[in-house]
Amino acid sequence: MKKIILVFFIFTSSFVSSQNIKELLAADSAVWFGLDFTKAKFTGSFAQSFGIAPNDGTEIVEKWIPEWNKIFFKEPQNFDIGEAIKKPMIYRDIEAVNKLNAKINKDSVYSAMPVAYKIPNPEIIIPEMIKNYKSETKKAGLGCVFIVESYNKEAHNAYVFFVLFDISTNTLIGYKRLIGIPKGIGLRNFWSGAIKDIIKQVKNSAYPSVSWNATKKK
């Protein structure tokens, strides 16, 4: 009898978890937590247009990372996360990520020389990272964040993890690594162009695939 009860409990727990994920993905709202750069590396030239005003780790952390996050408020029509993840109501709450980004080590985040870099063991690292996200506007619901792996000027690519999670428990729902192509004039616009490309990928394929796989969890 005890074995039967235990098996039933495990089955029920899994079912409830799966049902909760389905409800989160079916809801008409979500919270956007922004661009998390705490595990990111920047390689190659990060000068402004035409090589003017080169930047180092200090300027990247203190100036450009905040600028790349502000663009979601300044140009919401061009960086529409809500449309990408099929949510008509999107709450932008990036304060938690801003605080984490401000603590990035300025001496190790940037290398002018080409460096091959990937976030090690993302299946372990990403669930740990999302435990640090606390929303001031929503205590439950679907959370969305882009965890930036690298901005690689030599490869002419931005490598980013698109991540969905349950805000109430800070538990991972699913993620997908995407590659964005930067485009634009000026340092802010150039790399924001890569994020715009990634948002397009989320809308066209990444969100459907991540959400479909998430609902299949047992």
What pLDDT digit, counting tens, does each position of 195-218 carry? 999 999 999 999 998 888 887 764
Token pair belonging to 43:
């390689």
Q: Residue 41: beta bridge partners?
A: 150
| pLDDT the model gives residue 54 | 55
- Alpha-carbon distance of 210 to 30, in angstroms, equals 15
Sign of the alpha-carbon dihedral angle for 56, 58, 61, 67: negative
- Is the pLDDT at 180 greater than 70? The verdict is yes
- Alpha-carbon distance of 134 to 126, in angstroms, equals 15
Q: What is the gyration radius of the CA atoms in the chain, in angstroms?
A: 19
Token pair belonging to 66:
């905040």
The DSSP 8-state label assigned to residue 134 in this structure reads -
Higher pLDDT, 146 or 56: 146
| pLDDT the model gives residue 119 | 96
- pLDDT above 70 covers a percentage of the chain that reads 88
Token pair belonging to 161:
């993890």
Residue-wise pLDDT tens digits, 91-124: 999 999 999 999 999 999 998 887 889 999 999 9
Threshold 0.85, pTM exceeds: yes
Q: How many angstroms from the chain centroid is the CA of residue 78?
A: 17
| pLDDT the model gives residue 6 | 37
Residue-wise pLDDT tens digits, 38-84: 999 999 888 765 454 557 889 999 999 999 999 999 999 999 999 99
